[in-house]
Structure 1
């Protein structure tokens, strides 16, 4: 424990990060990347077909891309790194040391992305004829490229947390960045972004764009992109799944909290819904049902939520695979802490050695350092609330379970510390599980 702990006792630290991340991915993928590709395609189609109304609609969509990405998108982007920095500082510190220059490059690329977005929107009416219009379209293409480049850099960092590859031995930046899941993950996210944009925007087009001279070509563009992106997403998704560690693959269903059959049925229904939606979009766009568009809209949000939760959870017991456990303890440091004591190596713990007088308080410090990343004492998620999970357990049973918990539940990191620290943690957990609420 090298940093002070920040605790969200009822809601849970991991849930705070998850909510911010889900909102950000919906915007960064679905709006900044996917919708930008659709808008630039729409402007191109409007130029080719001389459809001024479609061109103006593309401008209006760009206005919303600008508003959403520079407000909620930017705030949640900063929010991810702020929340993870205070909740998982050891992990973020390690990533910053590995990917320092990648983060610098990502910041520069993101600034240029925003600059292109501003130019693209605010020159729409001034660059609207002849060569000027072509120049405007080129700015849109550059915007789409830089939006994708932003994701391509971040994907290298995120993918390395699950599959650091040879970095664990070489400590090479290039081994970490171009890790085993980098390319499949990047390809999957690229086409997923376009599918997400189609799912999110179609309902608004269906509800608010009444002029068929505009709506029909726009939905046609959506259907063409969908026909390309859905198969690509499936193929690249399979490649991605085959590239992750076997233990991680086994945790996919577990991480959703759903029974396996329910998980399979829900995902099959959602996939069938997407196929029906795309066929309807391509064959009978005029008769596209509002309820189908809405169902796809809701399914897309649900899938992103599921994807982000699964992506974060399947790394367990690690937060950086084969290097750092989810509680911030590195695998190489664990043996030393088992010998000398966890508290003795903590830079912020007030108690360095367990005694009979401070046993419960020492247990609380150990809980904050080793359990807080995933668990709460109380809270809305009863499976993660230790007071609920351990209610009725004798203290001796808790004490016996702690050293073997990672064998019983492989997604949990092993306890790190001395026998006395095991007793201290057991004493604290027994106390909070049996207190009157």
Structure 2
């Protein structure tokens, strides 16, 4: 532990990050990129067809893009920084050292995006006549800068799964333009616009009463749906072919579903989107409300699944082949086994295991090597030790810990001396009791 420990005991540290990240992805992808693209397309079509009603729809959309991106989008963006910095400081510290200038450029791009959005929103009435084309071009620039933000962040995120030659060269360019960068960027681009279609179809069906106007809006949505469905399939297959085989084999596991349930649910979701696309293109005036609601729910489920898979298939690493999910550098594994993990933990209160401090040492080892994914008694029973280890004795737990990375390849190996392993087993055996040892120790 090179940094102070922060724990969310009931939710779990990973769940806290996941909740914030999913909300942020919906806004940053679905709204900032996707709805902006649909909005600018609708405005362009309105200019070409002299359709004032369609232009007003685009205008109303710009208000919501401004509100959502500068409030929820900005707050969750900062929230990701705060949560990951306190929960996964080793990972964020490494990424900052690698991608400092990329993140700086992304910040400049984001500020530019906000300025363009403000200009776009507040000039609807000022730029009339021939200037409407200029206004639309500002919108196009806004959409491009929104996409550039995602293009930069994708380079950072994709490097966590496929750092490529970076582990050998430590070159920024090898890390950024990693093996999954392009397929990941393409997939995220198409997914963003498809998500926007799902987000908009439901409110358009509810609030736009004019059937002719509904048809005009759904023509725009249908155009992009046809493009994005094909794009998602192609880029998704490209992405799957680019990830490590070990990560590919963990996709179904990461969702918590069985193979059969995973296939059925995802095929049903895909089928629903295909039906939705055909219906929107062929009979936009008669698009069923229930189908719009179903697509909205399906898109939320796909986003949650995508984020869960993206985060989980990296295991046992958080930065592939470089840093384990608990923040331990792979290169230090043998050092810690020989000299001890606690000795090299800056913020551990215990540096050496003794007979008197076994429980406290075990808790420090739990915090350093287990807490990033597990809880003592959290809502996710599969990751809560009090449920998983109920009835286990210390010897059984110690034996299991010693080989867990072999029996469960997604688990990082335990790194530490034999005394430390036994101390962790002692602590984990104690958490199954009525009064968890963590509570007793924290009261001292």
Q: TM-score, normalised by structure 2?
A: 0.97
1:8 is paired with a residue whose SS is: coil
Cα offset, 1:213, TM superposition:
3.6
Counterpart for residue 412 of structure 1? 411
2:432 is paired with a residue whose SS is: helix
Q: Is structure 2 residue 101 aligned with structure 1 residue 101?
A: yes
Counterpart for residue 74 of structure 1? 74
Q: Measure the CA separation in 1 of the matches of 2:251 and 2:424.
A: 30
Q: For 1:97-130, what per-residue CA distance to the aligned partner results, in whole angstroms no more than 9, with x for missing partners?
A: 0000000000000000000000000001101211
Counterpart for residue 429 of structure 1? 428
Cα offset, 1:214, TM superposition:
2.2
Q: Which runs of 5+ in 2 are unaligned?
A: 437-444
- Map 1:177-326 → 2, pairs under 5 A: 177-326=176-325
Q: For 1:380-415, what per-residue CA distance to the aligned partner results, in whole angstroms no more than 9, with x for missing partners?
A: 111000111111111111111111110010000000
Of 255-264 and 147-156, more deviation after overlay is shown by 255-264
Cα offset, 1:144, TM superposition:
0.4
2:382 is paired with a residue whose SS is: coil
1:434 is paired with a residue whose SS is: coil
- Map 1:82-93 → 2, pairs under 5 A: 82-93=82-93
**Would you say the 8 A contact 1:319–1:326 is kept in 2?**
yes
Counterpart for residue 110 of structure 1? 110
Cα offset, 1:255, TM superposition:
0.7
Q: For 1:330-362, what per-residue CA distance to the aligned partner results, in whole angstroms no more than 9, with x for missing partners?
A: 100111111110000000001100000001100
List, as ranges, runs of 4+ consecutive aligned residues in structure 1 with deviation greater than 3 Å: none
Q: Measure the CA separation in 1 of the matches of 2:258 and 2:58.
A: 43
Q: Measure the CA separation in 1 of the matches of 2:333 and 2:434.
A: 32
Q: Measure the CA separation in 2 of the matches of 1:293 and 1:57.
A: 18
Of 394-403 and 112-121, more deviation after overlay is shown by 394-403
Q: For 1:177-235, what per-residue CA distance to the aligned partner results, in whole angstroms no more than 9, with x for missing partners?
A: 00000000000111111111001100100110012342211100110111111101100
Q: For 1:293-322, what per-residue CA distance to the aligned partner results, in whole angstroms no more than 9, with x for missing partners?
A: 000000000100010011000000000000
1:7 is paired with a residue whose SS is: coil
Q: Measure the CA separation in 2 of the matches of 1:257 and 1:191.
A: 26
- Map 1:17-96 → 2, pairs under 5 A: 17-96=17-96
Counterpart for residue 153 of structure 2? 154
Q: Measure the CA separation in 1 of the matches of 2:409 and 2:254.
A: 13
1:266 is paired with a residue whose SS is: helix
**Would you say the 8 A contact 2:212–2:285 is kept in 1?**
no
Q: Is structure 2 residue 8 aligned with structure 1 residue 13?
A: no
Of 202-211 and 87-96, more deviation after overlay is shown by 202-211
Counterpart for residue 439 of structure 2? none
Counterpart for residue 440 of structure 2? none
Q: Measure the CA separation in 2 of the matches of 1:420 and 1:426.
A: 10
Cα offset, 1:135, TM superposition:
1.1
**Would you say the 8 A contact 1:392–1:434 is kept in 2?**
no
Cα offset, 1:434, TM superposition:
2.6
Cα offset, 1:436, TM superposition:
4.9
**Would you say the 8 A contact 1:123–1:136 is kept in 2?**
yes
1:393 is paired with a residue whose SS is: coil
Cα offset, 1:241, TM superposition:
0.6
2:371 is paired with a residue whose SS is: coil
Cα offset, 1:85, TM superposition:
0.6
Q: Is structure 2 residue 355 aligned with structure 1 residue 356?
A: yes
Q: Which runs of 5+ in 1 are unaligned?
A: none
Q: TM-score, normalised by structure 1?
A: 0.99
2:431 is paired with a residue whose SS is: helix
**Would you say the 8 A contact 1:203–1:290 is kept in 2?**
yes
Q: Measure the CA separation in 2 of the matches of 1:187 and 1:97.
A: 26
**Would you say the 8 A contact 1:277–1:292 is kept in 2?**
yes
Q: Measure the CA separation in 2 of the matches of 1:383 and 1:252.
A: 17
